[in-house]
Chains A and B, each alone.
Chain A
Amino acid sequence: MSAPVIWVMLPIIIGAFLLLLRNERSVAVIGGALASLLALIALIIPIDQALLLGPISFKMSAGIQFFGRSLKFDPVDGPLLAILYSLAALWFFGAEAAGVARRLVPLGMMIIALLVASIAVEPFLYAALLIEIAVLLSIPLLSPPNQKPGRGTIRFLIYQTMAMPFILFSGWSLAGVEASPGDLTMTVQSATMLGLGFAFLLTVFPLYNWIPLLAEETSPYIISFMLWALPTITTLFYMGFLDRYTWLRTSSQLSQAVQVSGMIMVVTGGVWAAFQRHLGRIMAYASIVETGFILLAFSLVPGKIVEVASLLLIPRGFALAIWGLALSTIQKDSKPLRFSAVQGYARVYPVATGSIILANLSVTGFPLLAGFPPLLALWEGLADTSLTLSFWLLVGLLGLLVSAIRTLAVFVMAPEKTGWTWNENRAQVIMLGIGVIGLFILGSFPQAMQPFLSGLPRMFEHLGQ
Chain B
Amino acid sequence: MLNSILSWAAVFIILVTSSGLLLSRNWRWSLGLLAAQYLGSFWLVTRHWPLGMAAVKLVTGWMAIAALAMTLLALSEDDIYHQKDQTEEQFLPQGISFRLFASGVTALIVLAASPRIEAVTPGLGLPVIAGSLLPIGMGLLLLGSTSDIFRVILGLLTMLTGFETLYAAVEGSVLVAGLLAVVDLGLALVGAYLIGNSYDDAASDNEELV
Whether B193 and A139, one on each chain, are in contact in the complex, defined by CB atoms closer than 8 angstroms, is yes
In the complex, chain A residues whose CB is within 8 Å of the CB of B178:
67
Tell which of A132, A158, A185 touches B143, judged by Cβ atoms closer than 8 Å. Answer: A158
Known: A157-B156, A186-B120. A129 touches B176 (CB 8 A): yes
Whether A169 and B175, one on each chain, are in contact in the complex, defined by CB atoms closer than 8 angstroms, is no
Known: A158-B156, A161-B156, A165-B163. A126 touches B201 (CB 8 A): no
Whether A154 and B120, one on each chain, are in contact in the complex, defined by CB atoms closer than 8 angstroms, is no
CB distance from A140 to the nearest CB of B (A): 6
Interface size on A, residues (CB 8 A): 34
Query: Does B113 sit within 8 A of A, measured CB to CB?
Result: no
Task: Write out, one digit per residue, whether chain A residues 137-149 have a CB within 8 A of any chain B CB (1) or not (0).
Answer: 1011001011111
Tell which of B160, B170, B194, B197 touches A165, judged by Cβ atoms closer than 8 Å. Answer: B160
In the complex, chain A residues whose CB is within 8 Å of the CB of B166:
169
Whether B200 and A161, one on each chain, are in contact in the complex, defined by CB atoms closer than 8 angstroms, is no
**Which B152-210 residues sit within 8 Å CB-CB of chain A?**
152, 155-156, 159-160, 163, 166-167, 170-171, 173-176, 178-180, 182-183, 186-187, 189-190, 193-194, 197-198, 200-202
Tell which of B152, B167, B173 touches A68, judged by Cβ atoms closer than 8 Å. Answer: B173
CB distance from A438 to the nearest CB of B (A): 35
A139 to B189, CA, bound (A): 10
A169 to B201, CA, bound (A): 39
Query: Does A69 sit within 8 A of B, measured CB to CB?
Result: yes
Query: Does B66 sit within 8 A of A, measured CB to CB?
Result: no
Known: A67-B178, A136-B186, A168-B167. A154 touches B147 (CB 8 A): yes
Tell which of A126, A129, A149, A172 touches B194, judged by Cβ atoms closer than 8 Å. Answer: A149
Whether B176 and A146, one on each chain, are in contact in the complex, defined by CB atoms closer than 8 angstroms, is no
In the complex, chain B residues whose CB is within 8 Å of the CB of A139:
190, 193-194
Known: A68-B175, A69-B173. A133 touches B182 (CB 8 A): yes
Question: Across the A-B interface, how many residue pairs have beta carbons closer than 8 Å?
Answer: 86
Whether B193 and A140, one on each chain, are in contact in the complex, defined by CB atoms closer than 8 angstroms, is yes
In the complex, chain A residues whose CB is within 8 Å of the CB of B159:
162, 165
In the complex, chain B residues whose CB is within 8 Å of the CB of A137:
186
Known: A157-B152, A169-B167. A130 touches B179 (CB 8 A): yes
In the complex, chain A residues whose CB is within 8 Å of the CB of B152:
154, 157-158
In the complex, chain B residues whose CB is within 8 Å of the CB of A151:
147
Whether B200 and A129, one on each chain, are in contact in the complex, defined by CB atoms closer than 8 angstroms, is no
A146 to B143, CA, bound (A): 24
Query: Does A153 sit within 8 A of B, measured CB to CB?
Result: yes
Known: A145-B197, A146-B201, A161-B160. A129 touches B179 (CB 8 A): yes
In the complex, chain B residues whose CB is within 8 Å of the CB of A154:
147, 149, 152, 194
A136 to B193, CA, bound (A): 11
CB distance from A69 to the nearest CB of B (A): 4
Q: What residue in chain A is nearest B83 (Cβ atoms)? A: A148
Whether B183 and A149, one on each chain, are in contact in the complex, defined by CB atoms closer than 8 angstroms, is no
CB distance from A397 to the nearest CB of B (A): 35
Query: Does A327 sit within 8 A of B, measured CB to CB?
Result: no
CB distance from A34 to the nearest CB of B (A): 24
A396 to B83, CA, bound (A): 41
Whether A157 and B190, one on each chain, are in contact in the complex, defined by CB atoms closer than 8 angstroms, is yes
Whether B201 and A148, one on each chain, are in contact in the complex, defined by CB atoms closer than 8 angstroms, is yes
Q: What residue in chain B is nearest A162 (Cβ atoms)? A: B159
Closest 8 CB pairs of A and B: A148-B201, A67-B175, A129-B179, A136-B186, A165-B163, A69-B175, A139-B190, A67-B174
Q: Using CB atoms and an 8 Å cutoff, list the residues of chain A in contact with chain B.
A: 66-69, 126, 129-130, 132-133, 136-137, 139-140, 143, 145-149, 151, 153-154, 157-158, 161-162, 164-165, 168-169, 172, 185-186, 189
Extra A-B contacts (19), CB below 8 Å, given A148-B198, A158-B155, A185-B120: A133-B179, A136-B183, A139-B193, A139-B194, A146-B197, A148-B202, A149-B194, A151-B147, A153-B194, A154-B149, A154-B152, A154-B194, A157-B152, A157-B190, A158-B152, A161-B187, A162-B159, A165-B163, A189-B120
